[in-house]
Amino acid sequence: MLVLVIFLSSYAYAACYDTDGGINYKQKGTCKDTNNTEGSDSCMTWGLVEYYCIHNGCAAQIRTCEKCQDGVCLSKEADDVQQVNKAPIVNFLIMAIPGKTEVAFKVEASDPEGQMVVYTIDFGDGNKASNKPYISHDYKTNGTFKATVTARDSDGQATTISKEFTIEPQKMVEAPKKQESKTTESQSEDKKGFFRKIIDFFKNLF
């Protein structure tokens, strides 16, 4: 069984994206890097040309395949090697404080295969930032917004997470009400009660 690897020129300096996630003989993919190197998986008379990313650039390998159709190996050779790239893992936290239009963001992005990960935060108000693990953004106004993080590894696999949050005005806390002064009637009753106690006291003296 023959596997011939072909390294394409200038791959070491490019960022690369592969639509089938790496070496995947069961799915047709297209590889493209920022050096404008591009190739799609295709069939030859005796095998499959499989394009994939390596070191941030496109490379290709030729693999024997008894039955190949439209860039996909349909025979048992497709089961021998499956190096499908996994998408990045993203944790995305948002902290909005009532009364403040400035919102804090925290992003953690990593790749299961240890590839370099780049990500973009779309704040949902027309502004964006890239590769900032801790960042604050001032929305200038209250309201409900949706922020989105898109993380992509060097093979082009992407993970997107969106979270909706609301910036609220600060809630006013009412001061405890002072105890209302007694009404004139109650004051009068208190006075009557006081005089009754005095009268009773004098009665008991005799």
Query: Would you tell me how many other CB atoms lie within 10 Å of the CB of residue 9?
Result: 9
Asked whether the predicted pLDDT for residue 39 surpasses 50, the reply is yes
Are residue 93 and residue 70 in the same domain, yes or no?
A: no
pLDDT category of residue 17 using cuts at 50, 70 and 90: confident
pTM of the model: 0.52
Cα 126–Cα 130–Cα 133 angle in degrees, nearest 5: 115
Residue 97 maps to a domain: yes
Residue 107 maps to a domain: yes
Residue 198 maps to a domain: no
Residue 101 structural domain: 89-167
Residue 186 maps to a domain: no
Are residue 23 and residue 64 in the same domain, yes or no?
A: yes
Q: What separation in angstroms does the CA of 198 have from each of 6, 189, 203?
A: 114, 14, 9
pLDDT category of residue 12 using cuts at 50, 70 and 90: very low
Q: pLDDT tens for residues 123-180?
A: 999 999 999 999 999 999 999 999 999 998 877 788 999 999 999 988 766 666 666 5
- Rounded to an integer, the average pLDDT of 92-117 is 91
Residue burial 176-188, b: 16+ Cβ < 10 Å; e: rest: eeeeeeeeeeeee
Domain count, the chain: 2
